[in-house]
Amino acid sequence: MKKTTQFLLIAVVFLCTTVMMAQSTISGTIVEQGTDLPLLGANIIEKGTTNGVTADFDGKFTLQTKSSSGEIVITYVGYTTKTISFSGDMDLGNVPMESSQVGLDEIQIIASVAVDRKTPVAVSTIRKEAIQLKLGNQEFPEILKSTPGVFVTRQGGGFGDGEITMRGFNSENVAVMINGIPVNDMENGRIYWSNWAGLGGVTSSVQTQRGLGAAKIAVPSIGGTINTITESTDAEKGGFVGFDVGNDGYTRYGAKVSTGLLDNGFAVTAYADRTVGDATYADGTNFQAVSYFLNVSYKLNDDHKLAFNVFGAKQRHGQRQNRSLISTYRQSERGIRYNPDWGYKNGQIVNIEDNFYHKPLASLNHYWKINDNSSLSTSLYGSTGTGGGGGTAGEELGKFTADEYKIGNFGPVDLDRIVAENIAAGANGASAILRASRNDHVWLGALSVYNTELTDKIDLNAGLDYRYYVGEHFQEVTDLLGGQYFLMDDDINNPNQATLVGDKISYHDKGYHQWLGAFAQAEYDYENISAFVAANVSNSRYRREDFFQKLNSDPEQLTDPKNFTAFGGKLGANYRIGGMHNVFFNAGYFERVPFLDDVWLNFSNDDFNEGVQNQKITSFELGYGLRSEKLAANVNVYHTIWKNKTETADRGTGDNLITANINGLEALHQGIELDFEYRPFSSLTVTGMLSLGDWTWNNNVTDVQFFDVNRQPVLNPDGSPQTTDIYLKGIPIGRSAQTTSALGVRWNISDKTSLSYDYNYYDRYFADFDLQGRDTPETLDTKPWEVPSFFLSDIILTHGFEFGSFDASITARIYNLFDEEFINRADDGSQSNAATALVFFGQGRTFSISTRINF
């Protein structure tokens, strides 16, 4: 018996030893090919088993296998599955994952994608999986609302009318780039998200680079850069069909199909969707859009690749354009859904204020591997825009706002009554009509980036950026509302014109903008230190052509060109302390030339803004990053001074209009930002951020002189110059919440099911205000009205399942879960309080349900 027991013990020890010897330890770091961005959350599984782990925040993993040899399978959404053989213990080092999109790594070169713990800028990246999870029927910018320093509002709530600010700077001062192509309006810097209605369906990643950013070209990134990378061409054959429904009649259906990479080097991916809705939330905001995307890639040989890309959205949507008093919403039968900008005509909804536009963007990209050390990436692109926004015209515009022309208490406009009155006017013509303000344009550009390795530690990037833009602006009659014609006397070449639908009224002009820029950047990377120094120079050449205010025979119908040259430079360094910590700094100075709208005041060829100058921006930032097995965290401190900000002050109207050029304004934007992601275990992820801004005007400007329409100084009766003062020092900057915070939780209930909850809080949000109203020292004692703080909660449940032989998923989302009533945009009133402010209320509780079947 004793020998038997000894034998059994020896056998057990032998078996345990055999099992232990059969195990292997496999480690490595999962990164994105081309950028070395860590792919946190990548799945690593021992093939043929359920034994697996996920990569940590640095993309690192350690897997104890059950066998001494075999294969591991690495997967990550948007990347090609990789299988690696192992035998015994192995350290795989960096494991590059190739995107499932052909040519995506080359696009990222042009787009200047920042690399975590390497590029010394404050950066946050949202990938395809998170975009698909959270977007639903939200506006595209809203996927960034939990990003530090970012504030997103839907403004009036129309489809695509959202606005984004970064670090207190509005959209004119936030550079938006799609695949490295700048898309801010070349005349005023604004972004119209409705032009890119389908962008969320084709986006591979969105990267916010706050502050100076990583872009090498000269862009208006005072607040930061939103760097959107679209999908390119799928490397594998397949696609999906999807269907979404939501509140207020929201419906979207679409499909995507890809050929995969063919033997002849071609690959094609196409996507299209259609979106319609009775409203977004506010009344009279019905919408419809058709979005499309096409990418064709061709690999000529190992050294040359071509990719053609085109996408756009043809859309029309009703708008809530005019803010109202809080008391008006309270008295309206529709509450916070109240919208004064729509009505009924013959029983049909008519959008008095609407937006309709189609702006396809096409690009042809060429990637040339010159040799092992050098490459050249070139993008030729073009865009044509047609459309505009609706509104009213005529001598009796008050009909559209008067109570007697409303249906019910603050109800929609009774357009039938206006029609009846215009019919009664007969040969006298219509006294009130609907019109559209058009802004058609042609935009061509070229962007070329040369990269070479000077040494094994230093890379040099240099390139050229060319843009040519022509914008045509006019108003046209869209509905005579029963009138026989509309009398227009604004065209000096055709006075007293009886216009019909489609005829131009009020104004007709063109703006020309030619841009030429050059840039260079040297990058150093060795062991624990990475650094860069960059410089750029650009020249903007403006002209203006006026067809209404100048005779066709007048040589001044087309102005002489006006040139503005700007310079910029920045530098930064990042130091990695072991595998867990890094610190960085960046500093820069750059100039921004005036927008075309600032060069000629009052939209007149005769009113050149003699005092206009480049705006000057200086920025400095410090940052710290932590990466451990379960926690990733970042802290950034920034300080930005904006000097010589240009504004104008107007008094009077028409021929009595006088204008003062307010130069020399200064603003200070500084603050601290914190964000983190914590994964206590693989099935639970907790994210959060806190952003504390201190954004104020930094000076007063006095004795600003007024000029008349002939650019002559305006004098007081005693012969002294008529001037104005602007008192702003210490006044907080409005239009963006200066305190924001967020907390998010995602629980992976199973491999197929997850539940997410996001909480966002906003405070210290001051109303926007008219600078001209602060013309006495006493106004410094009154701050603009502070909007009440508010919070918003979203909840998302997603579940994957098999639909026959196909993988499918269904996702349900509820936004503003607790139906919080909040103000998302406010203009200060005469008494800087709630009673006099004009506001937009944000959306109440809304929802969407999305289904997708992959094939």
Q: pLDDT value at position 712?
A: 75
Query: How many CB atoms sit inside 10 A of residue 780's CB?
Result: 15
Q: Which residue has the higher pLDDT, 706 or 756?
A: 756
Radius of gyration of the chain (CA): 30
Pair 536, 568: CB distance under 8 Å: yes
Q: How many residues does the chain have?
A: 855
Structure tokens of 203?
Answer: 């986006």
Q: pLDDT value at position 8?
A: 45
Q: What is the three-state SS of 521-561?
A: EEEEEECCEEEEEEEEEEEEEEEEEECCCCCCCCHHHECCC
Per-residue pLDDT for 4 more than 90?
A: no
**Running DSSP on this structure, what letter comes out for residue 717?**
T
pLDDT tens-digit profile of 777-794?
Answer: 999 999 999 999 999 999
Q: To the nearest whole number, what is the mean pLDDT of the chain? A: 90
In CATH, which superfamily holds the domain spanning 101-230?
A: TonB-dependent receptor, plug domain (2.170.130.10)
Q: What is the three-state SS of 245-292?
A: EEHHHCEEEEEEEECCCCCCCEEEEEEEEEEEECCCCCCCCCEEEEEE
pLDDT tens-digit profile of 713-755?
Answer: 888 888 888 888 899 999 999 999 999 999 999 999 998 999 9
CA 59 to chain centre: 28
Pair 86, 69: CB distance under 8 Å: yes
Strand 174-178 versus strand 224-230 pairing type: parallel
Residue range(s) in the chain whose domain bears CATH number 2.60.40.10: 2-97
Q: pLDDT value at position 106?
A: 66
CA 705 to chain centre: 38
Pair 735, 165: CB distance under 8 Å: yes
Mean pLDDT computed over 38-67: 85
Question: CB-based contacts of 158: which residues, under 8 Å, 6+ apart?
Answer: 194, 280, 282, 285, 287, 317, 318, 319, 320, 355
pLDDT tens-digit profile of 96-153?
Answer: 987 766 666 667 667 777 777 788 999 999 988 899 999 999 999 999 999 999 999 9
Mean pLDDT computed over 82-98: 89
**pTM for this entry:** 0.88
Per-residue pLDDT for 233 more than 80?
A: no
Q: pLDDT value at position 3?
A: 52
Per-residue pLDDT for 15 more than 50?
A: no
Pair 353, 390: CB distance under 8 Å: yes
Scored b (16 or more CB within 10 A) or e, 195-209 reads bbbbbbbbbbbbbbb
Q: Report percent pLDDT > 70 for the chain.
A: 95
Query: By C-alpha distance, which of 90, 97, 113 is closest to 31?
Result: 97
| Cα distance between residue 258 and residue 281, in whole Å | 35
Structure tokens of 776?
Answer: 């006495």
| Cα distance between residue 229 and residue 213, in whole Å | 15
User: CA 779 → CA 22, 275, 775, distances in Å?
Assistant: 79, 47, 7
User: CA 297 → CA 102, 367, 377, 815, distances in Å?
Assistant: 7, 11, 15, 38
611 Rama class: left (phi>0) / alpha (psi -120 to 50) / beta: alpha
Strand 342-345 versus strand 413-414 pairing type: parallel
**Running DSSP on this structure, what letter comes out for residue 606?**
T
Q: pLDDT value at position 710?
A: 65
Torsion, CA 197, CA 201, CA 205, CA 206, rounded to 10: 20
Question: CB-based contacts of 257: which residues, under 8 Å, 6+ apart?
Answer: 238, 239, 269, 270, 271
With bands split at pLDDT 50, 70 and 90, how would you rate the model's confidence at 11?
very low
**Running DSSP on this structure, what letter comes out for residue 4?**
H
Query: How many CB atoms sit inside 10 A of residue 655's CB?
Result: 8
Task: Give strand pairing partners of 465.
Answer: 447, 517
With bands split at pLDDT 50, 70 and 90, how would you rate the model's confidence at 16?
very low
225 Rama class: left (phi>0) / alpha (psi -120 to 50) / beta: beta
| Cα distance between residue 31 and residue 660, in whole Å | 55
Structure tokens of 225?
Answer: 């850069």
pLDDT tens-digit profile of 534-549?
Answer: 999 999 999 999 999 9
Listing from the earlier edge strand, what are the strands of the sheet with 25-32? 60-64, 25-32, 90-97
With bands split at pLDDT 50, 70 and 90, how would you rate the model's confidence at 261?
confident
Per-residue pLDDT for 9 more than 80?
A: no
Q: pLDDT value at position 533?
A: 95
User: CA 836 → CA 327, 389, 435, 828, distances in Å?
Assistant: 9, 27, 30, 7
pLDDT tens-digit profile of 673-714?
Answer: 999 999 998 899 999 999 999 999 999 998 888 877 666 788
Mean pLDDT computed over 254-277: 92
CATH number of 2-97, picked from 2.60.40.10, 2.60.120.200, 2.40.50.140, 2.60.120.380? 2.60.40.10
| Cα distance between residue 78 and residue 628, in whole Å | 25
Residue range(s) in the chain whose domain bears CATH number 2.170.130.10: 101-230
Segments of 185-232 assigned E as strands: 203-210, 224-230
Per-residue pLDDT for 6 more than 60?
A: no
Task: Give strand pairing partners of 132.
Answer: none
Per-residue pLDDT for 7 more than 60?
A: no
Structure tokens of 378?
Answer: 């070139």
With bands split at pLDDT 50, 70 and 90, how would you rate the model's confidence at 823?
very high
Mean pLDDT computed over 476-480: 97
Per-residue pLDDT for 20 more than 70?
A: no
Q: pLDDT value at position 714?
A: 86
* Composition of the chain by helix, strand, coil, percent to 5: 10, 55, 35
Q: pLDDT value at position 53?
A: 87
Q: If DSSP codes are grouped into helix, strand and coil, which group holds residue 301?
A: coil
Pair 461, 485: CB distance under 8 Å: no
Q: pLDDT value at position 12?
A: 45
| Cα distance between residue 333 and residue 340, in whole Å | 12
Pair 242, 254: CB distance under 8 Å: yes
Given the structure tokens 């389908």, which residue do they identify?
A: 198
With bands split at pLDDT 50, 70 and 90, how would you rate the model's confidence at 18?
very low
User: CA 200 → CA 143, 196, 206, 618, 814, distances in Å?
Assistant: 9, 9, 10, 33, 18
Query: By C-alpha distance, which of 643, 437, 600, 610 is closest to 513?
Result: 600
Pair 353, 389: CB distance under 8 Å: yes
Q: If DSSP codes are grouped into helix, strand and coil, which group holds residue 608?
A: strand
